[in-house]
Amino acid sequence: MLTTIVSTGVCAGLLALSSFPAWGQEPIDTSQTRTMTVVWKNVFGGSMGAPTFFPNFCGQEGSDILLIASTKRGAFWKTRPKLDTTISVGAWPALYAKPIDYDGIPPHEYINHNGITFRCEGTGDITQMVPIDTIGADCWGGANTLLNAAYSADVDGDGFLDVVADIAGDNKTCRIIMGGPQSGKGCARVFPIDRFGSRDNRYAQAFFRSATGKWRVVQHERNDNDLSTWLVIYDMDIFRQDGRVQFRAVKRDSLHGPCTSLDDDPLGFSASVADTLAKKDWLVMFHRLSTTGPWVLERFDITNGKFISVEQVIPKDAGPIAHDLGYSLGTDHPVVRINGLFFYANNLRQPFARWIVKGSGLQGLEGMTAINDQTGDGVPDLVMTGGPVDNGVVALYTLDPAVSVDDDPVPPKIMSSARMTGDVLELSLVQPASVSAHIVGIEGREAVLLTQQQYPAGMSRIDLAPLLRTYPRGAYYLRVRMGDALHTINLIR
């Protein structure tokens, strides 16, 4: 059930300008901004996906895991007591994944980019991920074949962890993959939320839980013949009735930009951030005040469902790319990254940290995640992925002042590596070791591909073409064990 309150407006004269305050803007002050330092950086290979951090993975206290994946391989690294890149503690076909409470029995399960839901089995260093369900593209069709899981939350208030996915994808507000044993199997767990309103072009810029406890949507809207664009706030109520998930949406407020042209959009990106400790919702927007006016960075208080402007600054090296890090850096306020600058969500004038993109090797940043402290200052550090196509990079950054910017970053020692070049498996060993390989289908089925053999130190090349011909074309993972190390490689046939 969907209930919306819709109003329309006409862009005329200076009417649109009345949406924005007339007071002057201040420049961003970077005089106290600290520069992040590279702790280490490694060429990972392939085109990178965003990193994912799993604290207490599979319900094991203190077992924190960092998932790194590219088009060539994947890695499952332990981060306690320090990040260990010498061994991948398990194999899991996932470019990205989020926890879900599938059956109501601890620990949580995990759902990956193909919608395959995995249950944890085993304890210790090697945890097996066993597929138990598939909630994928067959459930919705369309062009979007992957499940783009954004975050996990109990959306409908039934006490079970759900997954919010595909925000603004496939002409939807989002899809929710419902948790709990009562939600059924496969496609029965998919709850799509349609777009709101009646304008021709609408897409959600944010779907989040407000600091007030309500679910809230911020939507960008425009008619085909409009000379103005709109940003609209909707409050949502998601609930179960007679065993079925339902929702209501109510329009709260709208903000429209200046009259420009059909080819111009003066309302740029926006990021909505819930500051739960301060009980405030902030909307940070990069936009233009008039047809010829400058681009500004503006913060609105939208806690009560209204656009109330509270801060406006002129950006220097800030730009239209935002990342909400929440409280993951151990701060008293949520953190927003805007290009290379990191701000507290309640202060856009004075960024507290700077990441220098030039020379980082991370041009084309894919993502970042905070992980547990790696330098000893008690503050979480950041892992970033990105870099050139087919030559991706993983880097660890810190704000710890004890790590000098003049230090020569030394990556962890790599005892072995494995990669596929065509149908040839290339092994690199610093000392002789026994090597074996298993092939894993995306559905989780595993088979021996290469029986255990001893290989010398140095580079070895194994032609797997005769063995791979026996498998249908598709996506696979290779799990290559080299001594005590386990490497996971993406394989497309």
* Within-domain flag for 468: yes
Alpha-carbon dihedral angle through residues 404, 326, 322, 302, given to the nearest 10 degrees: -140
Do 389 and 426 fall into the same domain? no
Q: Indicate which CATH number applies to the domain containing 462.
A: 2.60.40.10
CB 209 within 8 A of CB 153: yes
Query: CB atoms < 10 A from the CB of 461, how many?
Result: 9
pLDDT given for residue 351 in this prediction: 93
Do 400 and 437 fall into the same domain? no
Taking only the tens place, the pLDDT of each residue in 333-367 is 999 998 789 999 999 999 999 998 777 888 778 88
Residue 146 DSSP label: S
Do 388 and 441 fall into the same domain? no
* Within-domain flag for 50: yes
Two structure tokens written together for 232? 């609209």
Edge-to-edge strand list for the sheet holding 162-165: 149-153, 162-165, 172-177, 190-194
Q: Which of 380, 411, 442 is the last residue of a domain?
A: 411
Do 428 and 477 fall into the same domain? yes
In whole angstroms, how far apart are CA 22 and each of 15, 18, 99, 192, 290?
13, 8, 45, 40, 11
Do 420 and 468 fall into the same domain? yes
Output the pTM of the full model.
Answer: 0.78
* Within-domain flag for 265: no
CA distance 489 to 290: 51
Residue 70 DSSP label: B
* Within-domain flag for 70: yes
Do 431 and 394 fall into the same domain? no
Do 389 and 423 fall into the same domain? no
Cis status, amide bond into 107, omega within 30 of 0? yes
Q: Which residues contact 128 (CB under 8 A, 6 or more apart)?
A: 90, 120, 121, 122
Q: How confident is the prediction along the chain (493 residues), in pLDDT tens digits per residue? A: 333 333 334 443 333 333 444 445 778 899 999 999 999 888 888 888 889 999 999 998 889 999 998 877 788 899 999 998 887 776 666 667 899 999 999 999 999 888 999 998 876 555 678 899 999 878 887 656 788 899 999 999 999 999 999 898 888 899 999 999 999 999 999 999 998 888 888 889 999 999 999 999 999 898 888 777 889 999 999 888 887 888 999 999 999 877 666 566 777 778 899 999 999 999 998 887 777 777 788 999 999 999 999 999 887 654 556 778 999 999 999 999 987 899 999 999 999 999 987 778 887 788 899 999 999 999 999 999 988 877 889 999 999 888 764 444 444 444 567 777 667 887 877 778 889 988 877 566 778 999 999 988 777 888 888 888 888 876 677 878 888 676 767 676 6
Structural domain harbouring 429: 416-492
Do 432 and 477 fall into the same domain? yes
* Within-domain flag for 177: no
CB 268 within 8 A of CB 295: yes
Do 432 and 463 fall into the same domain? yes
* Within-domain flag for 9: no
pLDDT given for residue 262 in this prediction: 59
Contacts 24+ apart (CB under 8 A), 77-84: 78/125, 79/53, 79/371, 79/372, 79/374, 80/372, 82/374, 83/371, 83/374, 83/396, 83/412, 84/412
* Within-domain flag for 307: no
Alpha-carbon dihedral angle through residues 386, 388, 392, 396, given to the nearest 10 degrees: -40
Do 428 and 394 fall into the same domain? no
CB 391 within 8 A of CB 43: yes
CB 318 within 8 A of CB 310: no
In total, how many domains does the chain have? Answer: 2
* Within-domain flag for 340: no
